[in-house]
Structure formats: structure tokens, C-alpha cells
Structure 1
Amino acid sequence: MTGVDRPPGGTADEGPLLLGVRHHGPGSARAVRAALDSARPRTVLIEGPPEADSLIPLAADEEMRPPVALLAHAVDEPGRSAFWPLAEFSPEWVAIRWALEHGVPARFIDLPAAHTLAWGKEDPASPKGDPGEAKQQPSADEPGDGKAATGAGAPGAAREPEDTVRLDPVAVLAEAAGYDDPERWWEDVVEHRGAGTDDALAPFAVLEEAMGTLREAYGTGGHERDLVREAYMRLRVRAARREFGGDVAVVCGAWHVPALRRRTPVAADRALSKGLPKVKADMTWVPWTYRRLSRASGYGAGIDSPGWYGHLFGAPDRPVERWLTRVAGLLREEDRIVSSAHVIEAVRLAGTLAALRGRPLPGLAETTDAVRAVMCEGSDVPLALVHDRMVVGDVLGEVPASAPAVPLQRDLDRLQKRLRLKPEPLERELELDLRKDTDAARSRLLHRLRLLGIGWGEPVASRGSTGTFRETWRLRWDPELAVRVAEAGVWGTTLLTAATAKAEADAVAAGTLADVTALAERCLQAELSDALPVVMRVLADRAALDADVAHLAQALPALVRSLRYGDVRGTGTRALADVATGLAERVFVGLPPACAALDAEAAEEMRRHVDAVHGAVGLLEEGIAAVQGDLRGRWRSVLRVLSGRDTVPGVIRGRAVRLLLDDGELVREEAARLMGLVLSPGTPPADAAAWIEGFVGGGSGGGMLLVHDERLLELVDTWLTGVPADAFTDVLPLLRRTFSAYEPGVRRTLGELVRRGPGARGSAVATGAGVPGFASGPDTGRADAVVPVLRLLLGPDESGGSDADDLAEVAR
């Protein structure tokens, strides 16, 4: 036929051997290994980006441990990236390893990553950086993810509307076989096949025939890009045949095999692959995890159970028995009682379930049901642990140091090794003591990474000491952080230079004053001394121009926290202290007029600002008292103004009185007088309730104040009982919010005090004796009731009496 090249596909004798596989399928991986051992090709071609050909020898490195992934990213836009993950049970990985072990050339033949990344950039509907969809379009080897549809110009296009047919090829084959679950069908016909069949190529011939029928009916499945990819693959296969003859093996998704087998003109394939958009791309190996192979992680071409598949691929024999033994070990580590008898019974039950369901061997469903019934006693709680730790798994791959990497990644690797911070896929907490050099260096590393947008660690509240020298981090390494590292590489070649440049750029581009103050705090935490002058200059300019008191009040606490970090880490913060002092003075001047005529929502927000400024002023004065004088005294004057102005909302006036009382600037008699004025009949109930909310509401310890001061409690009680019925429904929500924030013990004590009424409350302040909320003296009758029990427990002493009698006398 003129102008038509010989088809790139054929039998093992007459041409390339086409091995259609399911990506991440242990059955396909075993079948590929058996086929390659049988055919002994002179070269192996693999579906993947050709730019990775030079990286293939690294797969033989002793330090390379799957799961790993090929990472491609655009040089000019590192955030535009794509992954090609490979596990030890991936057919492509098995093919690579077979070729390296037998000294056979291995090459990738899919569309280059340079075109894939550029194509995604021009097509807004295409996935950006999705690790799989950039490589794998609908294919039979990804059950549940295939989106085969009738494409324009495809055979059978008139039979189904293009916008209604979205078909999973494996689901179609499973349905034809009488299965309602594609995964279960695939396990039965592929994963549970015996390894020692006479014809190693038979499975591929059967699967090719099935895929050919589906391609005749559905064409490209609605994804026209497959036409370009397959044309390029055909060209690569032809080139390999010219170089090595017909003794070539091709490992690709089973969906593509019929297209590679089809006779097509060479000119047509070249025309399809010509003029494609292109970007400059870099490629390397990066570690991957089982979790990222699972669909739960959002990876569209993933699998549900990578841990289970890894076990099936690695188990030499008796996979069910070995699996259930591992499950028993995991449960025993979690202090569950699981014996060998449980394992034996679970194996028997899994086999029985498989027989009842007509399956050749127990699969994941049967073993899971057996574990639930026998080892977990019907509970899904321990079963969830088994699913998370074993069915999905937490394996993190490793890549040799000789793999290409951006300079920033090299610097990060060096710091991780020096500080003994190994990336791990499991979430763990790290406690740091900033007084220790190593912990301080770890803190700097994590803060610099966060500033660069590399979220390896997240700061959390410490369960131990609350001192500023303590930090607690929650660490978890995700493979996609490799992309963030490459993306951050545009800022510098080391972590210090990159974080410094990023901080300076963020300071200039910051939208609000609070953003700049937060950035200043982060610079101190990360010890970016070179970036701090730029940030402080921007901060001073923004603070001078910003007239919004709420913005100033919001920014002040962050500056004070920054000063505290400077003290702990030994960094100079004089410039920061000057800005913070000036900011505080502006807050003092602008706060009273800013608090006038606010609605309820704005008043509550301003109350939170008042609380924050109050705490910040105390800390600020401690650091700069010798220079700036009585900063706290000026703030108390502001609080007095706020507490006495009728135009200030009640929630702010009440909080100002409470803060003055806590600081000892207001005696209790004066506080009671002010509360009495507010709760007088002339004050609208809603305003009085707002004042109470500010005075004793929130987490400020107002409940204990009422417990210990009978006068304040009596004022609130008298006012509340006198609220008219028509106004009570209006103030009830505010009061409920106020008192519901108290701890249960405080609410119970207040209820007891109110129940007993005035004169019988036994306040510690009023009586000077007894426990607040209870009678002033002990109940001797109740004390005598426990004497027999105490005598029985303690026994008589040498004098003939007993310790119980002594205790009873003390109680009386």
C-alpha cells in the first residue's frame, strides 16, 4: 500500500510485542515480567515522556525505592507540572527494571512533557498539574476513571449523544461478564491469575481483543488528545523498529493497543504530531506515597488499595494468610486482643465467603469482611485503622541523591539531613525548645518553608509549656511539595536567600497593614535579618498612612508577638519596638471616637480589638518601659474614657470597666456602682445586657468574678428579675451567650447561689468563711455519716481511738 508504513503492532514473531496493561496493576506487572522473560526483546518501549529517557538508569540505583514518580515542570513556570507515578507493582516499573537487569535499552514513547505542559496551559478545561490526567486519558487500565465517550468523527458517533455517554471500559467488560463491580471483576480475571501459565502472551491477546471491540464502538472515548498521543507513539515505535528490527516490546495502557496495532499512513501521524505547543521542561524523579496513589488523595488515575496491591505483588505464596497475619500484628500493636486462632478463623471465613460469592480466591472484600467479623468483633473503628495503615498504606519512596534537582531542593535535602528531620508520610508532632541550637535551627527551617508556601509543617498549640521558647509543629510530607520547592526555586538557590527575597516581595505587595505586621512576625520567626529592614520600612509607611483604628488595633498584637520572638531568638528588634510604640499611641488617640455609634456586630468586633490591645500594651511596656515611660498608664486613661461615655456601646463600656477592675485601677465598690447605674430602670434592657456581656462575658473569667463578689451577682440577679416580659425575649439571646461560655462548674455554683437567695449565699467576700456557693459552716450530720466507713478503712490507733474519730472532730 503506497504511503502506508507497516503497522507498528504484530505478534512476537513478526514485529513489536504490544503488552496492554493496567497502570498500577500487580496482575499486569506479573504478566509483563512473564512476557518479557518469554519474548526476550532487544528493546523495551514504555508509555511515558521521552524527556525521562536519561533518568531510566537511576531506577537501578540501590537508593531508589518505589513508589516514586517522574516529575515534569515548566522551567519558566515551575508550578505548571505533571507527575507519572510508579509503584513496585506498576507494569512500567517492572518493564524498566527488567530492561536494566538484562542490559536492554528502555525508552519512553508517549507525547513529550514539553507538549503536555504547554497543551494544558492553552486549554483552560484541561487539568493543570494533575499527576495522571496529563499522561493517561480514558483507559481500560484505570477502572472507574475511564471517561470513554463517542467523539466527533469516531465510529458509532451517531449512536450515542456525545454529552451523555461517559463510559468506563473495564466497567463495560465487567458488566458483560455479569459483575456489578469492575474492581472485583479485574481481581478475579487478572490479579488472581496463576503466575505459571503455558502461554505468557495469552492474557494480552485477550485484553487486546476486548479493547479493540470497545474502540470500534467508542473511538477515542471523547478525548481527541488520544489521537495525537497515539500518533506520536506510533512514530516512536516505527523508529525503534528501524533501529532494532521487529524484536521490540511495547508496554502501554491497554486502551491504546488497538490504535498502535492499526495501519496508518506515516504522513498522517506526522501531521497530527506537528506544530504542537511547546514549553521548556525539566524532569526528575521524586518520592511518592501510597496515599497519593489512592483515589482518596484526589489523583484521578489512582487506585483504591495500593497497600493491598503491593502485598499481592510481593507475597511469594499464600497471600490471604500472610495478609491476615499482618492485620493481626497491626491490631495487637494497638492493644487489641488478637490471637493466632483469630487468624485461622479469619482465613477460613474469607475462603468461605469467596466460595459463596463465586470467586476463585478471596479478594479484598472477603478479607475485609473476615477481619471485621473475627478480629474487630463487628466494629468499623479498628477496621478503619486497618484500611488506613494497610489497605491504603503509608509507604514513602526514596530517590537517590544523584537524581537531578533544583538547587533549592539540594539545599533543603542538606538541611534535612543535618537537622535530622526526615520527610515522612505519616503525620507527627514535633516539640521544639528554642533555647537549644538544633531545635532553633529546625524552627528556622520550618518557618522559612512556610513563608515560601511549602507546607511541610504546620504550627499547632502546645499541650505542655506555654512559654515563648516552646513551639509545636505538625509535620507531614506530601509528594506534591516537590513541586512547591521547584516553584519556590525562582526566589533563590538556598532556603535563606529564597525566603528573604520572597519576604521582601510580599512586603511590597501586601494589601493591608495587618498583612505587613504578620509578615514582620514571620520574618523574625524565620530569622530573616536581611529582609526585616525592607519589611519594617513598608510597615512604617503603611502605619503612617492608615487612619483606620481597627486596622491599627489589629496590627499591634502581631508586632508585640514579634518583639517577644525577638527576645527569645536573640534578634534585634529596636526598630520594631519604635513602630509598635507609635502604633499604640495612634490607637490610644483614635480609639474613643472610633467606638462611638457602632452597631451590635461592629461593637463586638471592636471589643475584641480592645482585648487584644490591652494584652499587647502590657507586653509592650515590659520590653520598652525604660525608654517610653508609662505606656500602660496612658492606656488606662483611654479605658476610663471608654467606660464613661454614653455614646460608646455597652459591650465596650462593660469590658473597659472589667479591664480596669482586673488591673486594680478600679475598686470593687466603684465597679458595683457603675453596674448599678447601668442596670437602673432608666437603661434599656438591651443596652444593660450588652454591658453585662462586656463586663463578665466571654472567656475573661467573669463567672468566677460573680461567684466571689455577692454584690455584683445580686445586682445582676435583681436587674434580671425586673426585666419586663416584653423585653426579656430580646435580651435572652445575649444573656444566654454570656453565661453559656462559663465552665459547667461555674454555672452550677452560680445557680446554687441564686437558688439560695440574698443573705444565704455564703460569699467568700461577704462572710469570710466557707466555700463560695455553700453554707458558711460544716454540716456535722453529714460528717458523722462517714465516720463508720472511715473507721473501717483506717482502723483503730494505738491509743484505742481511731484516725476516723480525729477526722470527724476536725470536720465538726
Structure 2
Amino acid sequence: MPERFYGVRHHGPGSARAVLAALTEQRPDLLLIEGPPEADDLVRWVADKGLEPPVALLGYAADDPRRAAYWPFAVFSPEWQAIRWAVDHDVPVRFFDLPYAYRLGEARAGDGAELPEAETGADGGTGIDGPFGDDAETRPGEPEQPVRPVDPIAELAAAAGYDDPERWWEDIVEHRGAPAFEAIGEAMAAIRAESPEDPDDLLREAYMRGVLREARKSHRNLAVVCGAWHVPALTATVSAGHDNALLKGRRKSKVTFTWVPWTYGRLASWQGYGAGVRSPGWYHHLFTAQDEVVTRWLVAAAGVLRAEGVPTSSAHVIEAVRLAEALATIRGRPLAGLAELTEATRSVICEGDDLRLDLVDRQLVVGERLGAVPDDMPAVPLARDLAAQQRTLRLKPEALDRELDLDLRKEIDLGRSRLLHRLRLLGIGWGEPTRGRQGKGTFRETWRLRWLPEFAVAVVEAGAHGTTVQHAATTKITTAAQDAEGLAEVTPLVEQALLADLTDAYPAVLRALHHRAALDADVTRLMAAVPPLARTLRYGDVRGTELGPLRTVTTGLLVRICVGLPPALRSLSDDAARTMRDHIDAVHAALGLLEEPEPRERWLDTLAGLAARDTEAHPGADQPTHGLVAGRLTRILHDAGRLDADETRRRMGLVLTPGTPPAQAAHWIEGFLAGGGLLFVHDTALLGLVDEWLTGIAPEVFTDVLPLLRRTFGAFAPPERRAIGERVRGGRPDADQPGQRLPLDHDRAAGVLPTLATLLGHQPLLGGPRAHG
């Protein structure tokens, strides 16, 4: 029996059904499939029930795992179904595309070839050809692949009068049964005859023809499954000498292959995968649904909404089926396609709500199905250790986002937290913390989990640091601490080492911290290091970590900050003062987390000395400390109980005098009120001082300080602003007599009415002030 060529569209359910039927009829004694020949030994795993599509062949350079590529397979992929058929019928299978080792070897031998920054696709999404520019998805570090100069499916669709290639493919192939392989081959030959050739294709096809020549020597009944684009080249008469000349001198690199889980989201062409399809979930449905394709799809759409609490009845489904079928009839389609189903879903089931439709698209049209591989699949030791921990901790990788709440008092949750933190250190962002620990949240952590296929490469890369997750994370953080150039780089590592429970890395990280702190004389950098260290000291007891050495380092940092802070506050610009205020707030809040009172008292003593220095200066003179910082220091001391209400009013009164420049006083008020306006609600005397100062600002100066005042009062919480407004409406506080209020000055109030009317878009009010009372 002569050999047969089955030209397919990668990930096409119609092609998959046709290939199965053709192989059952032909019964070949050897099956050749377009794909990397280095993966031949992995074919046997297809018979393992633990290998569940979608999955992908992962190939990477043995000496540099970052140089990697994927070959994805779904249950509706023709190649996957062909391999399954061959394995079930004991028919030998070989991949016969150009070896991946050649691609890597050529990239390494190139002179100055730039590598892309992101994953590259291939053929514009037609998917009717094969790997390397087709169904192989490359990773960063791979040579950029040329885009094929013509889209075959688009050409055929245009010739048939279709403006949408996907809709043409559905009508001609997916909804009408098995494609005619001979007709598709002839169509590809006609298109290639009028199109420029891709040098990459010519090289691959030369290698494929060489494999075919060798296979013919031992097998007569051959079956070849490949992208339809290649069929004309493989059936053409070309000499072996011509092909050998093209392949001569090619270099090879050492590569490693394995199976890894994949997702339908990454199979979608809009994700940057050249041979992907727009709607993997829809194609999965087309392949697996034996009958009632339209009805079953709309029932599933209703199920998605019901799971989200959206009431969807059977009447919705019935009317949606009628609408989809009516649209298909009007448009002359053999069966309602995805376009008709989407319109029916939006109009009937979603009742015109695009948010509901987006939910259906995400879960059905694209789908978030995640494949699986057997536990004993060949992998790097780190991957095996990770899989073992996932089973022990009952933390299964999933493609969908899900929230995970952890109680660190439970041993299993503590283990999950350590694993997720260690993976983050290794650049594997399976979990992302969703909110920080606050107050009573000492024992709580919340994570958002989502497993992505590219984490398989990240695991291989991380394997260079160690054979277990703990060992690799320890090596990674220790190296980072040793290579850190400044205090800001090493400080976060202390907290990360604690969260990941990397006890072996802790001494090295603390040594690096102590060394960088001793060499750093910048007070702001020293202050920036305190909050993460204080959090570590505060929450370290939850994880049972020995924190004595860290406490010593933190205390030493605070002493140096207290000594260096006074000179650091002199001659600050407005921007520098705002930055310094933020650092002071952060350090003050961080010291409040510590159980020991001594560091906080030392800090407050330093702030008290700085505030007293400013108070003793002559009012109106150049203050040693910027007003923004001086006001903030006063508020901190007041809230900490170091200043009583009378002393606070006295200090505010010294600043809010006619002799103090309004801009300087406004900065002081901004700093003082940065902690919120609740103080004004309870202390009417302070409110009276500010009110008297505001009313005394000259008109020509008021516009200069207005932005500062607006920024200050605009930061108050709405209830605080409302309460202050109620206080003011009841009469202006009398600064000389606390608790008393001055009568409202209607003549002065009338002066703001024209401006207020302009802001509100009304004509200026006319008449006396009392007429508008």
C-alpha cells in the first residue's frame, strides 16, 4: 500500500476526526508526525492515564534552560489523536521535523543575532503547518522566527467569498465532516506556487524528505501527519543531494525534552501563540460533543452563569437555541457556529450584559483547562521535589485564579506559606499575596493562586540553584545577599528569608545586612530599612525563628538614625521634606510593632529634642526644620502623650502668628494634620487657632497657600470633614475662650458668594447677605 499524507490544521477538531478515520482505514505500519525527533522516547507516555491533555512537549538547552520551546497538544489536536491511535494499535511513531538541537545550534553559531524579549508566534495563527514557526511556542532566549509571507486559510477563505478565515474553516471542515486531504494538498500547492518561499520551511522540509527516504527502506505502508502547508513539498520529487546540501554544516546543541501541563488559555492564538486557535474551549466542545452541539453548548453557558449566582432558566436555553439556529439559517451556514452562539448567548442568556458574556467567554470559549502529567515523568530533581510537596500539602496546581486563606497556627498552612514564599524567591509566582498583615492578622495570610505553563521552564531554571525547593531558595537568597550593593537591596531579603523559613540562609543575610548598614551613612536609607526589619521581629515568633541577632542589628540601626536625624533635617527642600516626613511616619509606625519599649522611647526622645529646638527658635526666623516635618513631629509627640493639649496649642500658636510667613505656616499645618482631622473635632481650641490664622491671611497671599491647604484638608476622611463642618457651622471657635464660639460674620460670609456661584455654574447672587441667609 503506498504511503499517505494527511495535511492537517494543528488543533483542528475536524482534522483530528478525519485523521482517526483515515488511520483506521489505512492501518499503517509506521506513523511519521511533524514534531521534534528528540521527543521520540516520550511517545510511550501517551498511553499513561496520568498524561491528560492539554499538555506540551518542553524542549530546552541542557546548559541554559532559558532557551526553550513548547509543542502544545490538546485532545482535539490531530497529532495527539494520531499518536493515541498508534500507541493503542502498537504502531511505531516517529517525529520527523528538523531537530530542535539544530535550531539551538544555529542560534548559538550566529554572529550577533539578537534574541527576542518575549515569546514569539509564527504563522499568523493559521495553524496548518508545523513546529518552528507553527505549533512550537518559543520562550525568551530563542531566535526570532520569521512570519510566513502568506496565510493559507485566509487565502482559501477569500477565494470562497468569506471575510473571516475561522468562519470559513468551521463551515467547510468542522461542520461538514472529514476534510478531503487530497483537495487540501492541491489547494496548498496552488498557493505555494504563487507565494515566496520561507527559508526556514525549505530547511525543515529538506530534513523531512530525508527521514522519508530512510523510512521507505524498511516500511512500505507509511502514514504522514503534518501541517497541510508542507504536503506539496514532501510529495515533490527532490534529489537527496539537494536536501543534503541545504543541511550540510548545521551545528547541534544538547537538548532535553519532557512533557509538561498546558492550558487552553495559552493555546489561544491571542496569547501570542502562532498556531493557536481563537477558541480552544469551543473546539474542545466540537470534538467531544457527539450530538446536539448547539444545545449542549448553550446548556453549558447557562451552567456557568448559574454557578455565579445568575438566575438562568431552561426557557433561556430554549430561546437561545432557536435564535442561534435561525441566525445560521439566515446566513446560509450548515450549523450554528461560535459567532451565532455568542450572539444568542449575549441576547438571551446574558440578557445583553457584556460582563456576563465575558464570564462565559473566559470559562467556555477559551477555557481554563489545565492538563496533567504522571508523577514519575522524567524531570529535574527540583520539579520532583515540588510535585511531592504539592501532594503532601494538598496544594494542587490549577489554571483558574483562586484565593487561599492560611492560618499559620496550623502546621499544613504554615507549610503552604513557606512553599509559596520559597517559590516566589525562585521567580515562580504561583502565588501572590493579596493583602498585608495588619493588626490581628499576625496568624493570617491570603494568597491568590494561579499556575501558568511557563512555570515549568522557571522550575528547570531554578534547578541550577539546588535539587530541592528549600535548597534552591537558600542558595538564591544567599547569593543575592552577597551580591547586594547597598542596604536597600539586602533589607528585604531578611523578611523574605524569615517568611520562607530559610534558616540556613539567615546568618549570611544578617552578615550582609550588618556590613551594608555599617557602611551606609545616608539616614534616609537607614530609615527605609527599619520597617521590614520591625515586621520581621514582630511576626517572627509565629514561625519560630531565632531573632536575637536581627534584634541587635535593628537596635544598632535605630541608634545611628537617632544620631544622624538632627543634621539630616536641616535645609530641606519641599520635596525632600515630604520624603523625610514619610520616612519618619514609617519608622514611627514600625517601632510600634515591637514588644520592647526601649527603641520606641529612644525614638520619641529624639523627636522631642528636635521639636523643642524648633520651638525655641524666634518666630518668623528661618527654622532649623522644614515646617512640614516640624508640624509632623509635633503631632506624633501629641498622639504619643509626650505633649498635652495646652502645650500643643502653645506650639501651634507660635507658628500661626502674623510674623510667620503663610507658606511656612501652611506647611506646618499640613505636617501636623497628616495624621487625620479627628483632633479638630474634639479640640475646638486648636480648630479656633487654625480658623483665626486662616481668616488673617492676606488675599494676595492666600492663593499661594491654597494648594497646600486643599491637599491637607482634602486628605481627611469624609466623616471627619463632615464633623469639622458641623463645628464651624455652629459658630467660629473663640481661641481666647476655649469652648466658646463667636457669632457668624454675615458680611464676611457674603464675600465668598460670587465665587461660590461661579464654581457651581450659577449667576452671582444679588442682594444683601442676610437675604440669602
Would the TM-score normalized by the shorter structure come out above 0.5? Answer: yes
Correspondence list, 1:75-474, <5 A: 75-120=62-107, 122=110, 124-125=113-114, 127=116, 130=119, 133=122, 141=128, 166-195=149-178, 203-220=180-197, 223-245=198-220, 247-461=221-435, 466-474=440-448
Alpha-carbon spacing, 1:752–1:110, altered in 2? closer, same or farther (3 Å): same
Alpha-carbon distance, 1:381 to partner:
1.4
1:414, 1:243 → 2: CA distance?
44
Alpha-carbon distance, 1:433 to partner:
1.4
Alpha-carbon distance, 1:673 to partner:
1.8
2:409, 2:309 → 1: CA distance?
37
| Equivalent residue, structure 1, for 2:661 | 684
On the 8 A contact 1:81/1:117 being kept in 2, the answer is no
Alpha-carbon spacing, 1:55–1:489, altered in 2? closer, same or farther (3 Å): same
On the 8 A contact 2:591/2:600 being kept in 1, the answer is no
On the 8 A contact 1:120/1:128 being kept in 2, the answer is no
1:320, 1:475 → 2: CA distance?
33
- Aligned residue for 1:491, secondary structure, equals coil
2:654, 2:439 → 1: CA distance?
43
Alpha-carbon distance, 1:127 to partner:
4.7
On the 8 A contact 2:33/2:94 being kept in 1, the answer is yes
Number of residue pairs the alignment of both structures matches: 720
Of 547, 556, 561, the match for 1:573: 547
Alpha-carbon distance, 1:428 to partner:
1.0
Alpha-carbon distance, 1:682 to partner:
2.2
On the 8 A contact 1:120/1:127 being kept in 2, the answer is no
Provide Cα deviations, 1:445-484, integer angstroms capped at 9, x if missing partner.
1111111111111112169974222111111111111110
Alpha-carbon spacing, 1:102–1:629, altered in 2? closer, same or farther (3 Å): closer
2:613, 2:528 → 1: CA distance?
18
**Match for 1:522: what amino acid?**
Q
Tell me whether 336-345 or 369-378 shows the greater mean CA deviation.
Answer: 336-345
Alpha-carbon distance, 1:387 to partner:
0.5
1:103, 1:641 → 2: CA distance?
90
On the 8 A contact 2:406/2:446 being kept in 1, the answer is yes
Structure 2: gaps (5+ residues): 135-145, 618-622, 742-773
- Aligned residue for 2:49, secondary structure, equals coil
Alpha-carbon spacing, 1:164–1:35, altered in 2? closer, same or farther (3 Å): closer
Alpha-carbon spacing, 1:729–1:300, altered in 2? closer, same or farther (3 Å): farther
| Equivalent residue, structure 1, for 2:766 | none
- Aligned residue for 1:361, secondary structure, equals coil
**Match for 2:335: what amino acid?**
L
1:238, 1:138 → 2: CA distance?
31
| Equivalent residue, structure 1, for 2:626 | 649
Alpha-carbon spacing, 1:465–1:306, altered in 2? closer, same or farther (3 Å): farther
Residue 50 of structure 2 corresponds to residue 63 of structure 1: yes
Residue 60 of structure 2 corresponds to residue 73 of structure 1: yes
1:302, 1:736 → 2: CA distance?
54
**Match for 1:474: what amino acid?**
R
Alpha-carbon spacing, 1:35–1:270, altered in 2? closer, same or farther (3 Å): same
- Aligned residue for 1:24, secondary structure, equals coil
Alpha-carbon spacing, 1:44–1:729, altered in 2? closer, same or farther (3 Å): farther
Alpha-carbon spacing, 1:741–1:167, altered in 2? closer, same or farther (3 Å): farther
Q: TM-score if structure 2 supplies the norm length?
A: 0.89
- Aligned residue for 1:664, secondary structure, equals coil
**Match for 1:193: what amino acid?**
R
Alpha-carbon distance, 1:751 to partner:
2.1
2:33, 2:99 → 1: CA distance?
13
**Match for 2:393: what amino acid?**
L
**Match for 2:307: what amino acid?**
E
Alpha-carbon spacing, 1:525–1:138, altered in 2? closer, same or farther (3 Å): closer
Provide Cα deviations, 1:591-631, integer angstroms capped at 9, x if missing partner.
121122222222111111001111223334x2484xx7953
Of 45, 48, 51, the match for 2:32: 45
1:463, 1:623 → 2: CA distance?
20
Residue 514 of structure 2 corresponds to residue 525 of structure 1: no
Give the aligned CA root-mean-square deviation in angstroms. Answer: 2.6
- Aligned residue for 1:107, secondary structure, equals strand
- Aligned residue for 1:284, secondary structure, equals strand
**Match for 2:49: what amino acid?**
E
Q: TM-score if structure 1 supplies the norm length?
A: 0.85
Provide Cα deviations, 1:289-332, integer angstroms capped at 9, x if missing partner.
11111134333332211111100000011111111111112222
| Equivalent residue, structure 1, for 2:13 | 26
- Aligned residue for 1:490, secondary structure, equals coil
On the 8 A contact 1:639/1:660 being kept in 2, the answer is no
1:146, 1:180 → 2: CA distance?
24
2:105, 2:702 → 1: CA distance?
66
Alpha-carbon spacing, 1:321–1:582, altered in 2? closer, same or farther (3 Å): same
Provide Cα deviations, 1:171-191, integer angstroms capped at 9, x if missing partner.
122111111111111111111
Tell me whether 540-549 or 668-677 shows the greater mean CA deviation.
Answer: 668-677
2:324, 2:452 → 1: CA distance?
35
Alpha-carbon spacing, 1:520–1:463, altered in 2? closer, same or farther (3 Å): closer
Correspondence list, 1:616-655, <5 A: 616-620=590-594, 622-623=595-596, 625=598, 630-637=601-608, 639-640=610-611, 644=615, 646-655=623-632
On the 8 A contact 2:31/2:222 being kept in 1, the answer is yes
Provide Cα deviations, 1:217-261, integer angstroms capped at 9, x if missing partner.
2233xx42222111111111222222212x111111112222212
**Match for 1:238: what amino acid?**
R
- Aligned residue for 2:251, secondary structure, equals coil
2:331, 2:11 → 1: CA distance?
26
Of 599, 603, 615, the match for 2:573: 599
Provide Cα deviations, 1:469-522, integer angstroms capped at 9, x if missing partner.
211111111111111000000000011111111111111112321220100110
On the 8 A contact 2:16/2:81 being kept in 1, the answer is yes
Alpha-carbon spacing, 1:204–1:633, altered in 2? closer, same or farther (3 Å): same
1:168, 1:726 → 2: CA distance?
70
Alpha-carbon spacing, 1:356–1:528, altered in 2? closer, same or farther (3 Å): same
Alpha-carbon spacing, 1:492–1:737, altered in 2? closer, same or farther (3 Å): same
Q: Give the percent of matched residue pairs that are identical in Structure 1 and Structure 2.
A: 56
On the 8 A contact 1:496/1:528 being kept in 2, the answer is yes
Alpha-carbon spacing, 1:642–1:417, altered in 2? closer, same or farther (3 Å): farther
On the 8 A contact 1:707/1:749 being kept in 2, the answer is yes
Alpha-carbon spacing, 1:635–1:44, altered in 2? closer, same or farther (3 Å): farther
1:128, 1:614 → 2: CA distance?
43
On the 8 A contact 1:550/1:609 being kept in 2, the answer is yes
- Aligned residue for 1:53, secondary structure, equals helix
- Aligned residue for 2:463, secondary structure, equals helix
| Equivalent residue, structure 1, for 2:745 | none
Tell me whether 264-273 or 630-639 shows the greater mean CA deviation.
Answer: 630-639
